[in-house]
Structure 1
Amino acid sequence: MADFKNSALLVTGASGHFGRLAVEALLARGATKIIAGTRDPSKLADLAAKGVEVRKLDFNDKASLEAGFAGAERVLLISTDAVGSRIEQQRNAVAAAKAAGVKHIVYTSAPNPRPNPGTGVSPEHYWTEVAIAAAGLDFTFLRNHIYAEITLLGAGSAIGSGQLYDATNGGGRSYVARKDAADTAAGALLTAEGQLILDVTGPAAVTQEALATEFAKLSGKPVARVGLTTDQLRGGLVAAGLPAGMADVMVAFDIDAAGGYHAIVTDTVEQFTNRKPEALEAFLAANRGALAG
C-alpha cells in the first residue's frame, strides 16, 4: 500500500466537525505536511499549535482558492454545507486544485449520487464527482452513508412521543459514525491511488423498526416505528417547522432507503483504518445521554 504521509495534504473545511476529525487522524497517523483550509483561520489555532499549516480557504472566493491550494499534492475535498449552491462552489475548488497541480482528490460524496430531479442533495454530489473526473485527476470518491449522529437528532421527539416516523418502507440504513468516516477519509488521503469509488458504511443495515427498538431499550420508554407515505412525511416535517426545501431533502433520503440504496455494507472503513466500524447499537449506547425524551 502506498504511503503519502510526507506529501503536502490539504483538508478543506477543516474547522467543521468532519474536517477537524480528519486532520486529527492525519496527525495521529504521522502525516508531516498537513494544510488545513478554513474560512476562519482563527478557529484552528489549536491545530496550528500542533504544526498544521492553516490557510484561509473560501469556496466562494476564487483568489483564496488559488492561494489555498498552492503546493498541495493531495486534497481531501469535504462537501460544503451550502445546500443548493454546492455545485458551483465545488467546481471552483476542483478547478483551483487542477490549476495548482494537485494529483489526487478524495471527495466526501453520498450513496448513489445521480442527477435525477427530486433526489434531494444527490445531484450536487453527482455533478461534483463528474467535475473531478473530468479534470483528469486521480480520485477517491467516498460515498459516505448516513451518519450515526443523525439518529440522535430525532431521538428526543421519538422517545417523547413514543413514535418514530419514516417513509423508508422497511428499508435499512448502514449508519456510519462520523469519526469512522473521517478516519477513513484520512486513510484514503494517505494511501489511496488511482481512481476509486467506494461506499463508506457501518457494519450492518439497520431498519427504522430496529432503531425504534434501540431507542426504547436505552430510554426505558416504549417507542414504535410508524410507516408513512412520502407525502405524509413531508407534510409532517413542514408542519413541525422544517423549511420546505429541507423537508424535501429528508424525504429524498427516505425514498433512497426504501429503494435499498442505504442498505449497502462494505469493508471500506476497515480497509483504510485497520479496524471495523462502530455498530449503531454501540454508538447509541455510548451517546445515551443525548437521547432526551
Structure 2
Amino acid sequence: MIVVTGASGQLGRLVIQGLLEKLPAAQVVAAVRDPAKVEAFAALGVQVRQADYDQPSSLERAFAGAEKVLLISSSEVGKRAPQHRAAIAAAGTAGVKLLAYTSLLHADRSPLGLADEHRETEAALADSGVPYVLLRNGWYSENYTAGIPAALQLGALYGCAGEGRIASAGRADYAAAAVAVLTAEQAQAGRVYELAGDTSYSLAELAAEISRQTGKTIPYQDLPQADYQAALQGAGLPDWLAAMLADSDAGASRGALFDDGRQLGRLIGRPTLTLADAVAQQLRG
C-alpha cells in the first residue's frame, strides 16, 4: 500500500493518477486535509484518509498499514520543518519501509531561502531510522509560464534572474518521477535524485519564446532584486510570496535552478517538458 500526502494538490493529484496506471486502486491511499476535495479518487476505489500535518495523530492513522509513503512537502512555508517532522515520526510508528520526500534541487548547497526547511527535513530523515529516498525537485516550468498572461498585459517579462540558466521541468514530469521511484523493483532507500529538466533557458530566452509564439514583442526586463520584489507586491502578491519569488530569481542568477545531470529524464524514460511546449501549454489555457 502506498500513501500519498497532499493528494489534493496539483502534484499529488498527478501522482495518484500515475499510481492508478500501475496499481489496483485499493493499494493507493490519498492522504488529505479535506477528504471532500478528492471524492473523484474515492469513486475510483482509492482509499481516502484524513491527514493534517498539524495533527500528528491523524498522520499516524493515515499511514497505518502503509508499505511506502510519499511525503509531498507542505505548502505552508515557515511551518514546513515541524510539519514534516510529525510526518516522519508517524511513518516510523507505522513501520513504513520507504518514505520518499519531495525536497529541493541540490538542497544541501542551494542558496535559496526555500532550501532551509528542506535541509532541516533531510536532517530529520537521516536521524529518524526510517528508510528514505530524496526526490530533490527542481523548478516547475509552470512557476514561470503562469506569469505569461501578466507579461502579455504589461508588454514585458520582468524578473531578477540575470542570465541565470533554469533547468525546469513540468509538474507532470516530477509526478512521473515519484511514481517511478514508488513502484520501482530496485531498492530505493538511501538514494538521492537531483531532478531537473533535460534542457535549460534564461528568462530572456523565455521572453523570446513567448514573443515567437504570440507574435508580440515581449522583452525581458531584468530588475534589482528589491525592485522586483516591490513590483510583485505592487501587483497584489502577499509579502512572503513576493519575497520568495524574488529570492528564487536571484538564486537562479547564481545557478540555484540549474542542473545538467538529466536524472529526471532517465528516471521517467522520456524527455522532460521543453520550453516551447511549456509556453504552448500555457497559451492554450
State the TM-score, normalizing by the size of structure 1: 0.90
Structure 1: 5+ residue stretches without partners: 1-7
Aligned partner of 2:45 in structure 1 is: 51
What is the alpha-carbon distance in structure 2 between the residues aligned to residue 266 and residue 279 of structure 1? 16
Distance 1:123 1:287 in 2: 31
Q: Secondary structure at the match of 1:183?
A: helix
Shift of the alpha carbon at 1:165? 1.4
Q: Secondary structure at the match of 1:106?
A: strand
CA–CA distance in structure 1, aligned partners of residues 243 and 225 of structure 2: 10
- CA–CA distance in 2 between the matches of 1:73 and 1:80? 21
TM-score by length of 2: 0.93
Are residue 227 (structure 1) and residue 238 (structure 2) matched? no
CA contact (8 A) 2:163 2:203 kept: yes
Tell me if structure 2 keeps the 8 A contact 1:115–1:126: no
User: Which amino acid is the alignment partner of residue 159 of structure 2?
Assistant: D
Pairing partner for 1:238 from 233, 238, 241:
233
Q: 2:132 aligns with which of 135, 139, 143?
A: 139
Decide whether the 8 Å contact of 1:174 with 1:206 is kept in 2: yes
Matched, 1:249 2:244: yes
Note if 1:190 corresponds to 2:188: no
Gaps of 5+ in 2: none
Q: Which of 245, 269, 276 is the equivalent residue of 1:274?
A: 269
CA 1:286/1:236 → structure 2, altered by over 3 Å: closer, same or farther? closer
Equivalent pair of 1:159/1:216 in contact (CA under 8 Å): no
Query: How many percent of aligned residue pairs carry the same amino acid?
Result: 34
Give the structure 2 partner of residue 207 of structure 1. 202
- The CA deviation at 1:219 is 1.5
Q: Partner of 1:162 in structure 2?
A: 155
Query: Which piece of structure 1 moves more, 198-207 or 106-115?
Result: 106-115
Secondary structure of 1:194's counterpart equals coil
Match of 2:97?
Answer: 103
Deviation (angstroms), 1:120: 2.7
User: Which secondary structure does the structure 2 equivalent of 1:287 belong to?
Assistant: helix
CA contact (8 A) 1:159 1:222 kept: no
The total of aligned residue pairs comes to 282
Q: Secondary structure at the match of 1:169?
A: coil
Give the counterpart letter for 1:279 in structure 2: T
Q: Provide, for residues 141-189 of structure 1, a one-character-per-residue CA deviation record: whole Å limited to 9, x for no partner.
A: 1111111111232111212222111111200111110011111111111
1:25-174 to 2 correspondences below 5 Å: 25-30=18-23, 33-113=27-107, 119-174=112-167
Partner in structure 2 of residue 17 of structure 1:
10
Which whole-Å CA distance do the structure 2 matches of 1:52 and 1:266 have between them?
35
Aligned to 1:4: none
Instruction: Tell me the distance in 2 between the aligned counterparts of 1:112 and 1:267.
Output: 14
Q: Deviations over 1:234-293 (max 9, x none)?
A: 222222222222222112111221111212133333333222212121122233233xxx
Distance 1:269 1:113 in 2: 16
8 Å CA contact 1:184–1:268 kept in 2: the answer is: no
